[in-house]
Amino acid sequence: MTAAPTSALVPLRQTWPPGSVARYRAAGYWTGETFPGFLRDRATRYPDDIAVVGGAVRLSYAALWQEAGRIGAGLLARGLVPGDRVVVQLGNVPEFVSVVCGLFRAGLVPVFALPAHRITEVGHVLRKAQARAYIAAAVQDGFDYRTLARELQAAEPALQHVLIVGDAAEFTAVAALAGDDTGLPADPDPQSVAFLQLSGGSTGLSKLIPRTHDDYIYSFRASNEICGIDRSSVYLVALPAAHNFPMSSPGFFGALYAGARVVLSPGPGPDAAFPLIAREGVTCVGLVPPLALLWAQAAATGTHDLSSLKVLQVGGAKLVPEAARRVVDALGCTLQQVFGMAEGLVNYTRLHDPLEVVLTTQGRPISPDDEVLVVDDYGHPVAAGGIGHLLTRGPYTIRAYHNDPAANARAFTEDGYYRTGDMVQQLPGGYLVVQGRAGDHINRAGEKISAEEIEDHLLAHADVFDAAVVSMPDAYLGERSCAFVIARDTPPSAASLKAWVRGRGLAAFKVPDQVVFVDAFGTTAVGKVSRRELRAQLRARYLEQTGEPR
Ligand code: OOB
């Protein structure tokens, strides 16, 4: 096995100005804890408590630590070296947690892909992160990731290791990894990058978000307090575990930090989740709005005992007040709205907030040191209570994406604020109401789709002259995607265009829900319009014509 070409790796770093670092430390946000550090501590203090439940597996804190050691040492024994990046594409299985903890123990850097991602997305992430290894399940939800692994290996020469949970075929089984855990490296620098998370992204492909031990641990430690997570809690991971929401708000990492129990649901629907809630006594779960409504409906007629549930969190997309009311009425537990982003800032309604605040706002920031600006198109603060662009910086919001100067120039102001792309209104007390997006992404039930990315795929079709992808309101999903297409001579069918996008190796949620053929996009009196204005015009005109509500 050859050694990693580490010299060619773009360094992983995330830096805050020295003054901010000093302030965040002095305020006690950044404590110097690290992932391996706190996991070791919990394994020592609560060795026999159950940490992770998934399928038939129940891992105690001691067993999780041991499993992580076996996996981490096994990966190093196979030739990976600390600092190497490893793409992890696993669903809600216990190995998600033990593999990621194993990577942390070995000083390897997880890069999180979503289970829905396919060759185009995973290939992009592998290249961008310069990953040398890929870890996936054999088969999940009917998809064979070993096939994907073969395609990746053929296309990406830097990918040297494929590890599979389950039947590994010609690859290495995660279960077969073995090594000496006394050879694992010392705990890392708390300011170093612990992992790379993916951005929802409105422009093109996902960007990589480097999160440090210090900043991420602060975000879920503080979240635990806000969400009432302690050692007696049982946290259910219903959304895909790779999403930032169920990972850290407070998520399974928050739960592990608290010494609580993490229960992994194989799917987000009531059929999978309700029996687990009843069996394990789940106290907290995070959902996207359409699922929360589905749960509310199912709870009304269901037979499972959901009485252990104390906090139902809803986030990832806007929960409108009427829907919030329905969820509260049906589930009878405390509703908590969560407005967050993988880049950092997370807002919560507080558990004892007045119901009106919980129903009508998306909460307020975690930290007293989260700086929030609401500005107009020119960057000037709007009048109090006005709607504007949300900019933010703080102790757990990144200052730069990994390896992407162009995206950084767009996404961050000179003084380090992250341009979230969200339009918000700020109420007294700092509560935010999300009013929409300035950028061009579609928030399809919490899954973010970049309009530009899908347009590029449509434009690659020989019969497509031009395409503009927009969001449309959808009663169930919140938003759905609609592609306006100008065909060349022979217009393809809508179905064949959808199949085309799917055939480009993309996550299924990115396939346009609707395709509308038009002769021209048309221009206004202004003449040349930006893509963004064009998209807005197309959407407005279409909604007017069809009489759909906005
Ligand atoms: C969460 O993270 P991402 O990175 O998948 O998406 C972030 C974007 C936000 O910028 C916003 O546009 C939207 O998702 N969003 C919401 C929302 N929560 C997220 N829009 C309206 N209302 C909400 N409650 O989605 C995420 C990360 C951590 C915690 C929760 C959600």
Average pLDDT, the chain: 95
Measured in angstroms, how far is the CA atom of residue 467 from the centroid of ligand 1? 26
Which residue lies with its CA nearest to atom 6 of ligand 1?
341
Instruction: Please answer whether residues 211 and 85 qualify as being in contact, where contact means their C-beta atoms are separated by less than 8 angstroms.
Output: no
Helix 35-45 with 251-258: angle, nearest 10 deg: 40
Tell me the DSSP string of 407-429: HHHHHB-TTS-EEEEEEEEE-GG
Please state the rounded mean pLDDT for residues 209-215. 98
Measured in angstroms, how far is the CA atom of residue 422 from the centroid of ligand 1? 9
Report the residue among 313, 338, 341, 398 best suited for mutation to probe ligand 1: largest number of ligand atoms under 8 A from its CB. 341
Share of the chain above pLDDT 90, in %: 90
Instruction: Please answer whether residues 122 and 146 qualify as being in contact, where contact means their C-beta atoms are separated by less than 8 angstroms.
Output: no
Measured in angstroms, how far is the CA atom of residue 51 from the centroid of ligand 1? 27
Domain boundaries, the chain: 57-210, 268-437, 442-546
Report the residue among 196, 339, 362 best suited for mutation to probe ligand 1: largest number of ligand atoms under 8 A from its CB. 339
CA dist., res. 247 & res. 445, Å (int): 18
Asked if CATH classification 3.30.300.30 holds for the domain at 442-546, the reply, yes or no, is yes
pLDDT digits (tens, 9 = 90+) for 35-82: 999 999 999 999 999 999 999 999 999 999 999 999 999 999 999 999
pLDDT digits (tens, 9 = 90+) for 359-369: 999 999 999 99
Instruction: Look up residue 306 and give its two tokens.
Output: 């959901």
Instruction: Give the CATH number of domain 268-437; options: 3.30.300.20, 3.40.50.12780, 3.30.300.350, 3.40.30.10.
Output: 3.40.50.12780
Question: Which residue, chain included where needed, has tokens 């009013």?
Answer: 435
Question: Looking at residue 439, what is its pLDDT?
Answer: 75
This prediction's pTM: 0.95
Show the 3-state SS of 75-117. Answer: HHHCCCCCCCEEEEECCCCHHHHHHHHHHHHHCCEEEECCCCC
Element (H, E) at 406: helix 405-411
Which residue lies with its CA nearest to atom 9 of ligand 1?
341
CA dist., res. 517 & res. 515, Å (int): 7
Please state the rounded mean pLDDT for residues 500-525. 90
- Indicate if the pLDDT at residue 442 is higher than 60: yes
Which residue lies with its CA nearest to atom 3 of ligand 1?
341
Contacts of 34 (CB under 8 A, 6+ apart): 104, 187, 188, 190, 194, 213, 217
pLDDT digits (tens, 9 = 90+) for 94-150: 999 999 999 999 999 999 999 999 999 999 999 999 999 999 999 999 999 999 999
Measured in angstroms, how far is the CA atom of residue 443 from the centroid of ligand 1? 9
> What is the topology classification, in CATH, of domain 57-210?
Rossmann fold (3.40.50)
CA dist., res. 506 & res. 511, Å (int): 8
Using a 10 angstrom Cβ sphere, with 0-12 exposed, 13-18 middle and 19 or more buried, the burial of residue 42 is buried
CA dist., res. 252 & res. 247, Å (int): 5
Instruction: Look up residue 106 and give its two tokens.
Output: 């070995």
User: How far is it between the farthest Cα atoms of the chain?
Assistant: 71
Question: Looking at residue 6, what is its pLDDT?
Answer: 46
Measured in angstroms, how far is the CA atom of residue 318 from the centroid of ligand 1? 8
Question: Looking at residue 471, what is its pLDDT?
Answer: 93
Show the 3-state SS of 210-232. Answer: EEEHHHHHHHHHHHHHHHCCCCC
57 DSSP β-pair partners: 54
Domains 57-210 and 442-546 share a fold: no
Contacts of 493 (CB under 8 A, 6+ apart): none
Instruction: Look up residue 534 and give its two tokens.
Output: 């064009």
pLDDT digits (tens, 9 = 90+) for 232-250: 999 999 999 999 999 999 9
What is the per-residue burial (b if ≥16 Cβ within 10 Å, else e) of 469-494? bbbbebeebbbbbbbbbebeeeebee
Which protein residues are within 6 Å of ligand 1, measured from CB?
200, 244-245, 249, 315-318, 337-342, 346, 362, 420-422, 434, 437, 443, 446, 448
Give the residue from 304, 228, 227, 295 showing the smallest Cα distance to 267: 295
Using a 10 angstrom Cβ sphere, with 0-12 exposed, 13-18 middle and 19 or more buried, the burial of residue 537 is middle
Share of the chain above pLDDT 70, in %: 97
Measured in angstroms, how far is the CA atom of residue 436 from the centroid of ligand 1? 11
Instruction: Look up residue 289 and give its two tokens.
Output: 């709005």
CA dist., res. 403 & res. 137, Å (int): 28
Q: Which residue did the predictor score with more confidence, 546 or 289?
A: 289
Please state the rounded mean pLDDT for residues 298-315. 96
Atom of ligand 1 nearest to the CA of 342: 4
Tell me the DSSP string of 500-513: HHHHTT--GGGS-S
Question: Looking at residue 548, what is its pLDDT?
Answer: 81
Tell me the DSSP string of 253-269: HHHHHHT-EEEE-SSSS
pLDDT digits (tens, 9 = 90+) for 410-429: 999 999 999 999 999 999 99
Measured in angstroms, how far is the CA atom of residue 187 from the centroid of ligand 1? 31
Angle at 290 between CA 97 and CA 542, to 5 degrees: 125
What is the per-residue burial (b if ≥16 Cβ within 10 Å, else e) of 237-253? bbbbbbbbbbbbbbbbb
